[in-house]
Every structure is written in structure tokens, then in C-alpha cells.
Chains A and B, each alone.
Chain A
């Protein structure tokens, strides 16, 4: 098989495929079933940034665990790059950052990343340089030799990203990557996701912070009580093709009236006039980011 045909075939295989996934948990002595995921079907194409959204308890983390083979599905199938999730092989091309990550507190950041790299089969002369590279990528070079037990929440999230990235996986699964992280950390994670996307990586993110996800995702799926209630491209879901916004310098009242009349003569209507607002997180990043720089 030629390299061209082979690459076309591998491109056709979705990074993630979930078909009819059901996960029930038993609760109480009578074994009452609690359905965490209810007939979920999803497909994430290679190279996409895909957001799995929903409120707490909507089944996002359960879906991720089933996808990684950490939970046995009650029904349905999951596959990563065409390999069924129950197989160890499925996890070879995956980097995973769990929700509220806890790591071995007795190890230093560098030892932790080295441990996970070696668990993924890495070794030899390139190992140490790769560890340095990912530690620099997540901004933890200075704290690399400190024990993980002394890290802040944001630093734990970043060392979690480093261990997920160290073996250069094709698929990155981030479970609530920005939960509890300050705006600077959130911006850094967002920037990193965009860099990974530019390098052709597939990223699957779960979050309940919809605004943050909107900025980075190509497609999103929204879950509620285990069921898929909405799925599609972000641009299709949030954009309105029949409306446009024009931003102009502030107009005096008489010119605004002329504009309304001009539009009315053409059968159009000026719906709203408002002052554009920036976002608090942008102001924070501008001020705090500059100070830190």
C-alpha cells in the first residue's frame, strides 16, 4: 500500500468514535440503577478541537472514562483511532489530563513527567530533552525540581498537561482543564490548545465553562443528564447568518437618525445600537500579563 493511500485511509478513521454508549451505576442496597450516559453517539474527526459540554453530573467524565477503558460500558462501543477502547493499544496515542488531577506527591515535577514518559515506552537519549521541552511548554521549568505536593492548583494542571503531552500523542483528552485555574492560567491553556490544533493534534475537551470552550472548539456536543441534546460546529450554533454587526466610531444623534432613514429607504431596520464592551478577563490579562512580563 502506498504512503499516500495509507495516509488517506488513516485520515478517514475518526480520532474518537462513540456508538450508543450507555453507562449505568448501581446505587444503594437494592442496586437501583443510575444512568450516567444514555445512548450517546459521537464522532470526533482527526485534527478537530471538540468540546464536550454540559452541567455537572451530565455524564462528561463518565464518557471520557469509558472512552479510555477505565469504565466498562453497560452497552455501546467506543473506539480511539479505530481501536476498541477496551484494548491497551487504544491508549497508545492518547494523552489524558483528568479532572482535578492528583499526582504522586512524593515525586518532583521532572520525576513525574519522566515516570509517565517511560510508562509510554520512551527512553534513550531523547527522553531528557523531551521532558525539558514539555516542562518549558507548560511554563514549569523553574519549578521542575520541586515536589508535586508543593504545587498550586494551576501548577498541578500544568504538570498534568506536561505528562499528557510528553509522548507526543495524536489525541489529547482534557477533562475540565481550566476548572479552578486563574485567568492567566486559563489563557495559557487556551493558547496551548490552539498551538496543538495548529500542529494537527486532535483535542477533546470537557467543560462546564461554555464561554472558554467557545473560543477554541471547532465542534461541540452538549450533554444533559447523560443525553446528547445538541451537536454541531460552533460557528453554526452561535452565529446568525441573517444578521450583521457594524462597529463604527460614536455617531451623534442626528447622524444616527440619518442612518436609520437611509436603511429604511432600503427596507432595512437598525435593530440595536449599543456600546461595544470588552471582557473582564481580557482587561485582567492585559494588566496582570503586562505586569508579569
Chain B
């Protein structure tokens, strides 16, 4: 009996189809337009800067849009693109082919991660363009304040976009894990948002528990810290200056941290999905 080995090619075909499906739907366009609107419109929201330097405020708006709408896109797209296969019964035809369920899960993951990459890349490029344009205006208006040259490091902005994408990849993997055992799309979306919030507040919980001092509280804190990734690790320092750039080793560690969580969440999703009745 000839075996059918796991095929990365088939997983990539499923990913390609998932990306195409997302691109031809209105969901991606909707979140993209909202985020683009916020990035471009940040120029006229300076009244809410609360004294922060204008360029820093623009960058915060851009990364905020990427984080918030990116998270909404990652969770909603994962749930929608996964459950559309189940509810429309396209998974029935697909999994009746010589396809491993692991290939299906990996394909879905890579497809939505590609959607997130497109989203982050576009927003990062737009944010760079907005910063460049405003920085140019400010340099003409206040040449003395820019005597040393530009203050924005565009490498830092690109790095910020990359870190946001890594964070979204982890969120996609966690949402896919929920979808692999959830019965409804709504449950996946709601749970995905809870996970997103927990991951953002994970460091606070860990801190509070470890300060509690008791063995039980410390272990619960440690457990939570292991189960939920710390999304604060994916944030840049409060500066756009190249001098404040994180060391390369730190960026590599964060990338490995994200890859580790993605691998574990996808493996668990495959485990949950392997016996699921289609």
C-alpha cells in the first residue's frame, strides 16, 4: 500500500485558496478601509494627542489601528474562513480527497496569516507615507527643531509593523485552536476576543499573582503566563528614534516566542480537529 505523506504543497494550496477567498470577500476590505481611514485621519485628530509629539501621536494611531482592526480581522477572518468550510460543506469535498486534516489546519492558518501580512504591510507602508509627509511639512515649518535631520526612523516603523504581524499570527493560531473544537462561529469570535484581551493583560495578572506570595497564587500565575502569550512583548518602545531600537537578539527572541506559540496552538488544533465529524 503506497502511503500519502504529509504535503506542504497541499497545505499551501489550501492557504492560497483561503487567501483568495478572503480577498474576494468584503470582510478584509471593510477592516482595511477602517484602519486606513484612521491612519490617514490621524493628522486631523491632533487635539487628542494630550501633549505627545505630533509624529509620535501619528505613529501611535497607526500602530493602534493595526493592533485593533488587525485583531478584529484576524479573529473574524479565522472564524469565518474556517466555519464557511464546515457550514457550506466545502470541507466535505476537500477532506474526501487524499488530504490530511493537519494539511487543512495548516493551510487555513497560513492563509489567514497571509491576509494579516497583507493588512500589516499595507498599513505600515501607509503609516510611513503619512509620517514622511508630515515630517517634511514640520521640517519646512520648524527647520531649527530638525537641525540634526529627521527624527523618524522608518526602520523602526517597519519593525513595528513586523511585530504587529507576529502578534496577529499568534492570535490567528489561538483563534484556529478555538475554531477546531467550537460548534459555532460566534463562540469562536467571542472567545477569540477574550483571548486577545487576556493576552494583552497577561503580564498584569502574572505580576499580581507573583506578588501575592502564596505558592498556589504563584503557580496559577506561572500557569497563566505559560498558557497565554504576553502580547506586550510585541510592542515597540515609546520612541521612533533609531537609537531606541531593540537589539536584534530581542527581536529574534520575540519571533521565536511567536513561532513557538503558533506551532503549539496549530498542533493542538490538529489534535482537536482530527476526529471532528464533518
Instruction: State the interface size on chain A (CB cutoff 8 A).
Output: 30
Q: Select the stretch in B92-100, B111-119, B220-228, B265-273 that faces chain A.
A: B92-100
Closest to B95 in A: A70
B278 interfacial by beta-carbon distance below 8 Å: yes
B20 touches A88 (CB 8 A): no
- Whether B4 pairs with A92 at a CB distance below 8 angstroms is yes
Which of B14, B93, B99 meets A98, CB within 8 Å? B93
Q: Whose C-beta in chain B lies nearest to the C-beta of A93?
A: B98
User: Are B20 and A102 in contact, with the CB atoms below 8 A?
Assistant: no
Known: A65-B278, A89-B4, A92-B4. A106 touches B94 (CB 8 A): no
The reply to whether A88 and B4 contact each other, CB–CB distance below 8 Å, is yes
Cross-chain contact A163 with B93 (CB below 8 angstroms): yes
How does the 8 Å CB contact mask read for B94-127 relative to A, with 1 for contact and 0 for none? 1111111000000000000000000000000000
Chain B residues contacting A270 (CB-CB under 8 Å) are none
A106 with B90: in contact, given A71-B278, A92-B4 (CB under 8 Å)? no
| CB pair B21 A104 closer than 8 Å | yes
Neighbouring B residues of A70 by C-beta, 8 Å = 92, 95-96, 277-278
- List residues of chain B with CB within 8 A of the CB of A163: 93
Check B2 for interface membership: any CB of A closer than 8 A: yes
Complex: A94 Cα to B100 Cα, angstroms: 15
Identify the closest chain B residue to A105 (Cβ): B88
Interface string of B253-266 (1 = CB under 8 A from A): 00000000000000
A83 contacts partner chain B, Cβ-Cβ < 8 Å? yes
**Contact yes or no, B277 A71, CB < 8 A:** yes
- Contacts of B71-101 to chain A: CB distance below 8 A: 88-90, 92-100
Q: Which residue of A is nearest B2, CB measured?
A: A89
A104→B25 CA distance, assembly (Å): 12
B83 CB to closest chain A CB (Å) equals 13
- B11-26 toward A: CB 8 Å interface, digit per residue (1/0)? 0011001001100110
A9 to chain B, nearest CB (A): 13
Query: Chain A CB within 10 Å — which of B1, B17, B20, B96 has the most?
Result: B96
Q: Which residues in A have their C-beta under 8 angstroms from that of B148?
A: none
Asked if A285 is an interface residue, CB under 8 A from chain B, the answer is: no
A222 within 8 A of B: no
Contact A83 B1 (CB under 8 A): yes
* B250 at the binding interface (Cβ < 8 Å): no
B214 sits at the interface (CB 8 A): no
> Would B93 and A103 count as touching, CB distance under 8 A?
yes
Are B278 and A115 interface neighbours, CB within 8 A?
no
Q: Is the interface of B mostly helix, strand, loop or mixed?
A: loop
- One digit per residue, 1 when the CB lies within 8 angstroms of any chain B CB and 0 when it does not, for chain A 78-121 equals 00001100001101101010101111101100000001101111
Q: Tally B residues with Cβ within 8 Å of A.
A: 27
A168 CA to B17 CA in the complex, in Å? 23
Q: How far is the CA of A107 from the CA of B142 in the complex (A)?
A: 54
Is B21 a contact of A91 with CB atoms below 8 Å?
Answer: no
Which of A72, A88, A91, A160 has the most CB atoms of chain B within a 10 A radius of its CB?
A88
**Bound complex: CA A115 to CA B111 (Å):** 15
| Residue contact B20 to A106, C-beta cutoff 8 Å | yes
Query: Are the CB atoms of A119 and B97 closer together than 8 Å?
Result: yes
Does A68 touch B at the CB level, under 8 Å? yes
When A89-B1, A102-B89, A104-B21 are in contact, do A72 and B277 touch as well, CB less than 8 Å? yes
Interface membership of chain A positions 47-80, coded 1 if the CB is closer than 8 angstroms to chain B and 0 otherwise: 0000000000000000001001111100000000
Decide: A107 near B96, CB < 8 A? Known: A70-B277, A89-B4: no
Q: Is the CB of A96 within 8 A of B96?
A: yes
* B3 and A101 contact, CB distance less than 8 A: no
Give CA–CA (A119, B94) in the complex, Å. 8
Cα A149 to Cα B196 in complex, Å, equals 34
Q: Which residues of B are interface residues toward A (Cβ below 8 A)?
A: 1-4, 10, 13-14, 17, 20-21, 24-25, 88-90, 92-100, 275, 277-278
- 5 other contacts beyond A70-B277, A121-B98, with CB at 8 A cut-off? A65-B277, A68-B96, A92-B98, A119-B13, A120-B98
Q: Which 9 A-B pairs have the closest CB atoms?
A: A96-B96, A106-B24, A102-B88, A92-B98, A88-B4, A70-B278, A91-B98, A68-B96, A119-B97
Would you mind naming 30 contact pairs between A and B with Cβ atoms under 8 Å apart?
A: A65-B277, A65-B278, A70-B92, A70-B96, A70-B277, A70-B278, A72-B277, A83-B1, A88-B4, A89-B98, A91-B97, A92-B2, A92-B98, A94-B96, A96-B93, A96-B96, A98-B89, A98-B93, A100-B89, A102-B89, A103-B93, A115-B13, A115-B17, A116-B93, A116-B94, A119-B98, A119-B99, A120-B97, A160-B93, A163-B93
